[in-house]
Amino acid sequence: MSGLFDLTGRHVLVTGASSGLGRHFAGTLARAGAKLSLGARRAEALAETVAQVEAAGGEAHAIVMDVTDAGSIERALDAAEERFGPVAVLINNAGVTVTKPALELTEAEWDGVIDTNLKGVWLAAQASARRMVKHRTGGSIVNIASILGLRVAGAVAPYTVSKAGVVQLTQALALEWARHRIRVNALAPGYIQTELNDDFFESEAGKALMKRVPQRRLGAAGELDGPLLLLASEAGSYMTGSVVAVDGGHLVSSL
């Protein structure tokens, strides 16, 4: 790819790259010319993502990593730098959820979501930014938030809290790290169709939810490509601390 969203030769680390949006983002970034370090906990699924990228002509390698473990992140960054040099762009995508009424949540379930979705974003961003400062390269960090960090839904309390934290963290880090030429922005998807939620959106509850989206449909993963590349590339060079919602108008729907 050439032009405004070009990432040719840029080293991009994607967390949570073993499935879902992380796998999709890997393909998008590879088509834009990026060299990819793909991180997640599941080695076998990661290998499938790498194979898909390489089959399409891209460059990628897998790094088994756990974003809740600072040591794991440092080892992952060491391996990434050894392969492709300093990381220029971090896509902070790893995330989990638990769907359960708040009265029934266990402490372990709460901690599991917060540790991955918020602490993990913090640890990966800090470790990556420290190296960007050390190498004097600057860079871009794109945190994957959610419209549920800006409004709420039932039965996903720790998820909404974690994503609201990601929004505030994005803005706090953008303020502090601009002096180092590090941009920090967030992408906040609405309801995007993936293999993980197909069954739900075929259900009556899923169809009812879709009717509340002003565009009356789910988003396609490809509709996140433009916003992702905007924030990752120099096309967004004067953007930092921004939260870009891609949601079919869901956030402006009436309460």
Provide the CATH number for the domain around residue 29.
Answer: 3.40.50.720
Residue 224, domain member (yes or no): yes
Residue 187, domain member (yes or no): yes
Cα–Cα distances (Å) from 176 to 93, 129, 181, 239, in that order, read 21, 11, 10, 14
Q: Of all residues in the chain, what percent carry a pLDDT higher than 70?
A: 98
Residue 2, domain member (yes or no): no
Residue 151, domain member (yes or no): yes
Question: Is 159 among the residues known to form the active site?
Answer: yes
pLDDT in tens, 175-207: 999 999 999 999 999 999 887 677 888 888 888
pLDDT in tens, 195-250: 767 788 888 888 888 889 999 999 999 999 999 999 999 999 999 999 999 999 99
Q: Write down the catalytic residue from 5, 84, 122, 159.
A: 159
Range of the domain at 30: 11-247
Residue 198, domain member (yes or no): yes
The pLDDT assigned to 201 comes to: 86
pLDDT in tens, 86-135: 999 999 999 999 999 999 999 999 999 999 999 999 999 999 999 999 99
Name the token pair of 167: 């929004």
Residue 255, domain member (yes or no): no
Residue 221, domain member (yes or no): yes
Residue 5, domain member (yes or no): no
Residue range 48-54: mean pLDDT, rounded: 98
Measured CA to CA, the distance from residue 189 to residue 140 in angstroms comes to: 19
The pLDDT assigned to 50 comes to: 98
The band of 1, judged by pLDDT with boundaries at 50, 70 and 90, is very low
pLDDT in tens, 124-169: 999 999 999 999 999 999 999 999 999 999 999 999 999 999 999 9
The pLDDT assigned to 205 comes to: 83
Those residues whose C-beta lies under 8 Å from the C-beta of residue 183, and which sit 6 or more positions away, are: 138, 139, 140, 141, 174, 231, 236, 237, 239, 240
Beta bridge partners of 142: 91, 185
How many folded domains does the chain comprise? Answer: 1
